Amino acid sequence: MKLAKRVEALTPSTTLAITAKANALKAEGHNVIGLGAGEPDFNTPIHIIEAAYQSMKEGHTKYTASGGLLSLKKAITNKLKEDQGLTYETSEIIVSTGAKHSLYSLFQAIIDEGDEVIIPIPYWVSYPEQVKLAGGVPVYVEGKEENQFKITAEDLKTSITKQTKALILNSPSNPTGSLYTADELKAIGEVCLQEDVLIVSDEIYEKLIYGEAKHTSIAELSPELKEQTIIINGLSKSHAMTGWRIGFAAGNAKIIKAMTNLDSHSTSNPTTISQHGALAAYNGTQEPVEEMRQAFEERMNKVYERLITLPGISCVKPNGAFYLFPNAKEAVKNTGFSTVDEWVEAILEEEKVALVPGSGFGAPDNVRLSYATSLDTIMEALDRIERFIVRHS
């Protein structure tokens, strides 16, 4: 059977091959350390689990309205008011099956065949594929490593054409952990306003910020920028709720309504039980969120200090998320490999450490490692990588 063109055009995930290999090695009994995790290693806070259980016992096991429970939308408007100082109506909020699905519906709702969407490199792997699935054309702009992998307003300006529909911003970023400052966002925002480019602001790592850094949503910077922006966020990373699949989009009511119509014909509604858990997550104590953030920050600092001692490895220090994105170009060359992809594969084979090659994120000189796993495990992985580098040099 011939498959549809739209799925044939999808780029296979570069992480899949390495994950499959890591799993095969594990099945053979090898002690494989995976540093590929894209989710917190903590359990969901217990009060959220209990609230979801209680809701089921009370009979909340049926469909909800398509865009989510009104009470949850209200809780989200409260969150946006408290954290971002932004006022939204519930008609400007949609609850979706994870932030990934908010993004998917958004692109389906706004992109026509041939519309361009600007995606800064390095990018989260699903952005280009989701844009292509909607008939759009990803236009890549390189965020230079010297500039902490961030694009500038100038870079953006030169990439805009008559076909440009939207810009995706992801701050803090997966895979780099970089965070845009308010000034950088202001300059980027001005260009978007001048050129009428919709800003898709993916703020899923908002709660994971380290050191002196502060998270700013571009929508906070002026009423005009709020109008021009769709905020994407959710509970997966902040509240360790990846499996619950709850995310949201906030912005222009017409766009939100179109997304809700779309979802009514695909998911119907995000899981009712998860929505009740999400209500407890937003309305209840935020202490576990801060505790997890502190644990990530401690790990990041320790892992970063160790990582930059590895021969041929340099790394931009992240301000957020739970990834490090070191440049391995020198190490790859010094150990006799020609690409990071081959190097990563050899490390897995010889030292049983699974890293994610940067090629999948549009940055072929880098590798992504996640510190969403215990500190001892990561340190052991770094010892193994060092042993590999020394042996091959």
Q: Site residues (CB under 6 A) for ligand PLP?
A: 38, 98-100, 124, 170, 174, 202, 204, 234, 236, 242, 247
Whether 73 and 91 have beta carbons less than 8 Å apart is answered as no
Q: Are 324 and 378 in contact (CB under 8 A)?
A: no
Torsion angle of the four alpha carbons 170, 385, 20, 243, in this order, in degrees rounded to the nearest 10: -40
How far is residue 167 from each of residues 56, 134, 160, 200, measured CA to CA in Å?
A: 40, 15, 9, 6
- Amino acid at the residue 62: K
**Least Å from the CB of residue 59 to ligand PLP:** 27
The two structure tokens encoding residue 12: 């296979």
Instruction: Round to the nearest angstrom and report the end-to-end CA distance of the chain.
Output: 49
**376 phi, psi to nearest 5 deg:** -60, -40
Residue with the closest Cβ to ligand PLP?
A: 98
CA–CA–CA angle 343, 344, 346 (5° rounding): 65
Q: Read off the tokens for 124.
A: 């989260």
Report the nearest approach of ligand PLP to the CB of residue 384 (Å): 25
Taking the least distance from each CB to ligand PLP, the nearer of 98 and 277 is: 98
Residue whose CB is less far from ligand PLP, 161 or 266 = 266
Whole-angstrom Cα distance, residue 314 to residue 331?
A: 9
Nearer to ligand PLP, 72 or 389 (CB): 72
Burial-class residue 92 by CB neighbours within 10 Å (0-12, 13-18, 19+).
Answer: buried
Q: Is 102 helix (H, G, I), strand (E, B) or coil?
A: helix
> Which CB, 106 or 332, lies closer to ligand PLP?
106
Q: Where are the alpha helices (DSSP H) in the chain?
A: 5-8, 14-27, 46-57, 70-84, 99-110, 126-133, 153-159, 182-195, 223-228, 253-264, 272-283, 287-307, 329-334, 340-351, 375-392
**For ligand PLP, the closer CB: 110 or 385:** 110
Residue 119 backbone phi and psi in degrees, to 5: -125, 115
| Residue with smaller CB distance to ligand PLP, 37 or 258 | 37
For residue 232, the minimal CB distance to ligand PLP (Å) is: 7
Q: Decide whether 269 or 335 has the Cβ nearer to ligand PLP.
A: 269
DSSP 44-60: PPHHHHHHHHHHHHTT-
Determine the Cα–Cα distance for residues 286 and 386; give it in Å rounded to an integer.
39
Beta carbon of residue 244, minimum distance to ligand PLP (angstroms, whole number): 9
Smallest distance from the beta carbon of 321 to ligand PLP, in angstroms?
8
Closest distance between ligand PLP and the C-beta of residue 238, in Å?
Answer: 10
CB-nearer residue toward ligand PLP: 40 or 326: 40
Which two tokens mark 370? 């996640």
* Nearest-approach distance from CB 175 to ligand PLP, in angstroms: 8
Minimum distance from residue 319 beta carbon to ligand PLP (Å):
15
Q: Is the peptide bond before 175 cis (omega within 30 degrees of 0)?
A: yes
Q: How far is the CB of 150 from ligand PLP (least distance, A)?
A: 15
Q: Which is nearer to ligand PLP, 25 or 49 (CB)?
A: 49
Least Å distance, CB 364 to ligand PLP, is 20
- In the bound state with ligand PLP, the residue whose beta carbon lies nearer, of 35 and 313, is 35
